[in-house]
């Protein structure tokens, strides 16, 4: 087994390798003066199981670099090539929702499929059905394996806490967290007048005098979570904590979260957050041990289902 990383999230990759008692392999990756990407493995990987870790968040160079690394590993006669994608970019473009648009998440997986890799791992896909876009074995990991222990420390119960789903799409995972934490559940009916803009239409559930936890798979512009938090406070909530697996944090998200009524923003390290996007309310929970355990199962040829056998880890 050898583990390599692209440039999108090297801190997480190094942590995963550390959990497995090894170091990241040596790979050369840089841009020529015209912007083209150069990839070269600096060590022998013949007949090795090669795990390549790369989040595919913008810029698009992260995707190209990932594809080139996968191809280079296959051409270097690796025994198996496994794509490890902590954050799968373009997952929100998973269907043809209007005329003359691509299904971009399918396109990305088509690229990967053509390279003939052996397995894919990803965490908290925006649309789980994306796994069916490719015939390659696809392991879908859950951030709840890392986040649940943190949320248990809030010491909430049915009388004091509620998990609020900011939209219908996050209702299932929010209900799961509410059940496992033993707290109430509420739902916001959200409308999108245009992309990256969300407005609250209705709310179902009791938030009065409750500590509210808003859970979503990602925090992008933070409009959805900030609107949900404002609505919760208007409904009489005592406090609001926001939880999101993937800290995309684009646009004015940092300013919105900083100025919002949210007391704490808890995210995972599936995306490497640049220093300028760190803010006082931000707390990062590592998922390195989750990926390390999954990689160990794959290497040993044992089932990953044991990772999810505990009810607290199911999404």
Q: Which helix (H) or strand (E) holds 194?
A: strand 184-194
Tokens of 91: 């997952």
Backbone angles phi, psi at 219, to 5 degrees: -120, 110
Q: Where are the alpha helices (DSSP H) in 163-215?
A: 171-181
Tokens of 286: 């590592």
Respond yes or no: is residue 314 known to be catalytic: no
Adjacent-strand bridge partners of 141 = 123
Strand order in the sheet with 80-85: 2-5, 49-53, 80-85, 119-123, 138-141
d(CA 292, CA 258): 33
In degrees, rounded to 5, the angle at the alpha carbon of residue 177 between the alpha carbons of residues 206 and 92 is: 100
- Which residue reads 């198996």 in tokens? 80
User: Which of 96, 152, 190, 314 does the annotation list as catalytic?
Assistant: 190
Write the Ramachandran bin of 35: left for phi over 0, alpha for psi from -120 to 50, otherwise beta. Answer: left
Report the residue count for the chain. 315
Backbone angles phi, psi at 151, to 5 degrees: -75, -30
Adjacent-strand bridge partners of 37 = 31
SS3 (DSSP) at 130: helix
Tokens of 262: 């949210």
> CB 139: neighbour CB atoms within 10 A?
19
Q: Annotate 65-99 with b (16+ C-beta within 10 A) or e (fewer).
A: bbbbbbbbbbebebebbbbbbbbbbbbbbbeeeee
What are the residue numbers of the active site?
A: 190
């Amino acid at each position: 087994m050898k583990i390599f990383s692209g440039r999108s999230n090297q801190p997480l990759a190094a942590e995963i390798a550390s959990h497995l008692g090894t170091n990241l392999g040596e790979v050369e990756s840089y841009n020529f003066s015209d912007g083209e990407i150069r990839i070269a493995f600096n060590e022998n990987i013949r007949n090795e199981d090669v795990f390549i870790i790369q989040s595919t968040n913008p810029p698009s160079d992260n995707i190209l670099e990932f594809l080139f690394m996968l191809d280079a590993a296959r051409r270097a006669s690796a025994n198996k090539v496994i794509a490890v994608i902590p954050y799968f970019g373009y997952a929100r473009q998973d269907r043809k929702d209007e005329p003359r648009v691509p299904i971009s998440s399918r396109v990305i997986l088509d690229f990967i499929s053509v390279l003939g890799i052996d397995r894919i791992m990803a965490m908290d896909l925006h649309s789980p059905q994306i796994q069916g876009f490719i015939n390659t074995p696809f392991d879908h990991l859950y951030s709840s394996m890392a986040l649940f222990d943190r949320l248990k420390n809030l010491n909430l119960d049915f009388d004091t806490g509620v998990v609020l789903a900011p939209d219908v799409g996050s209702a299932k995972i929010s209900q799961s967290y509410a059940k496992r934490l033993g707290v109430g559940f509420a739902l916001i009916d959200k409308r999108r007048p245009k992309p990256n803009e969300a407005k609250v239409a209705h709310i179902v559930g009791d938030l009065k005098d409750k500590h509210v936890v808003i859970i979503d798979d990602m925090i992008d512009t933070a409009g959805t979570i900030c609107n949900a938090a404002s609505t919760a406070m208007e409904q009489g909530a005592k406090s609001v904590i926001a939880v999101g697996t993937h800290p995309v944090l684009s646009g004015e998200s940092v300013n919105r979260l900083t100025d919002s009524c949210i007391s704490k923003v808890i995210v995972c390290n599936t995306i490497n957050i640049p220093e300028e996007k760190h803010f006082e309310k931000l707390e990062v929970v590592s998922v390195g041990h989750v990926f390390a355990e999954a990689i160990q199962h794959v290497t040993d040829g044992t089932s990953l289902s044991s990772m999810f056998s505990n009810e607290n880890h199911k999404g």
